[in-house]
Structure 1
Amino acid sequence: MDNTPPRPQSLVWTLLEAYCARRDLKLTRLDDYGHSGLVENPAGQRRFFRGTHFDLNPLGASEIADDKAASLKLFQSDGLIIPEGVVLSGKNASNSAIQFSERVGFPVFLKPNTGQEGQDVERLETPEQLKTACTRLLQRHRLLLLQKAIPGEDFRVLVLKDEVLGVIKRSAPIGTGDGVNSLKTMIEQLDAGLLADPRCAACLASQNLSLDCVPEKGQVIALLSNANLSSGGKGHLLDGPTPLTIKDAAIRAANSLGLRYAGVDMIVKADGQPILLEINAAPGLARFAAQGPSDRAVAAQFYERVFDAFTVSFRQ
């Protein structure tokens, strides 16, 4: 008898399993977790997926989407607005970073030129912070992208076949003091992983706070400067019709790369102007779905549409 505990299944697998059962499609997983697999119709035609990558987008375009500088350059050439930025590498990276930042002004955002889920994305306020961050990140990444920080609201826009599925407003993780517990205790209760994230320490330091501080009751404390859900941020589905400026910019960005399915990240300024940050050819919804039952239901509705597009050619 096999006493091995069942392995947790991905959100995509769980939803796709139910979807295929309703439509007489065979679903085969190629690993223990359902991270990769294939869907097959009764005629033997197959469609493949891996993680949140589906047989929807061209391979070359998906690869370029993962190159932030390259995709932003394309967006700019197609008339979309992007933040001012510079690619950094090699021994002179810190000097180039300082020169750029002194010209455009602090704060700035430094991030790996490739990668997802907000990993190693840092908001920097001073030349000293920038030099230290450059040295640290270049030990793990060959190319970095440095961008001027743009004030505004942070959005992830999901696009499927020239249509906006939904708009998720993202906010950076915060904590609220109770007048009793220290910041360390508060963070442990919210997300203990933040304690090991150097960006959290830097964010607290910028507010002249330490982990031993006891915030006053009702005092709101910023815990990170970036709003990615994978870093502890929160996502809120935008109610009502999508503003035309946001809708147009997102669809144009997806079409610029020829992506049928994409997550477009943007900052929307106070005057409503969208500034394109990056595009993701395999946007995931697991973090959003984990926020609660209502958000999981929304994620399930979105994935239903994606699965329809993914399998439509061999369900007809």
Structure 2
Amino acid sequence: MTRPTSLRMRLIAVTAAAVTALTGLDLANASSGNAADSAARADTAAPSTRDAAGRAAMNADPATRPQTTRQPVLRTGMQGPAVRSLQRLLTAHGHPTDVDGDFGPRTQAALIAFQHKAGLTADGIAGTRTWRALQTAATPTTAQPPAPAAPDTCWTSADSSTDYAYRCEFGIHPVSGRNSTALTRAMLTKATTDFSDHFPFKGCGQVLKEGQVCSLLPLNVQMVEAPVKVIDIGPDYFVLMSLPGHPEGEDRSIRFTIHVAGNQLRLGVHAWGKPSRSARASVDTGFVTHVWGTYAQQGLRSLIAPK
């Protein structure tokens, strides 16, 4: 009886040792599994936290965002704090627009003007390069040296496969000692409410209105028409855009700005858009210099110094 009892005892001891070893292994596996599950949950939650932070950064005003955050691409029709920041920057760089957070035609016109001046693609869309230029370009100072007399001519300012632009600058009248802001606004109001009396071409009526579509008569005869749309009227400027059938082609814009430089009231003209032979020829032949010079020195001058 002694031998069977001893054998049973050894079997019990071996079994107990095996169970203990297996139990320890299961507990170790369970511990490792729980740690892995915790790490996985933490890793799953992290993107949500990062995404929320990213959304918060994108919704913030670009002027207060970290410089490492990529600025949003803005275009016509968009609204929000980013648009408001864009409008403030454009205004600070001498291209005034309403700071209302609404990317409308006025903001687009100001943006295109800035892009032209900065040597960027003038597409009216605020992308990475435009944001960088707005944030790094020097802000105009309030103290300016005396401005020379207006050149009284037009010149090509951009010529590529996608854009042909020209600018003009004409003197209207001396304005020493006058309130320039009040004067330019009054002039613009008069120029757009007595439009056909002073503009070189007839066809758009006496009062110019934003959104208006009409056909200018470049030679003041019915045989030649230049259909345009009034896309913007600001405190000291108005912008026309050519429509299909225009002699210079469609989708070309022209902005007329009445401003003061030094002691001279001036007319600034800026035209841009799809290239065309007729657009280039109008500058090369001196046609636009003659037409817009006449508008400045006869049509607009008569508003401030009637005969």
TM-score (ref. length: structure 1): 0.25
Q: Which has the higher helix share?
A: 2
Bigger-Rg structure (1/2): 2
TM-score (ref. length: structure 2): 0.26
Q: Which is bigger in relative contact order (C-alpha 8 A, separation at least 6)?
A: 1
Q: Which has the higher strand share?
A: 1
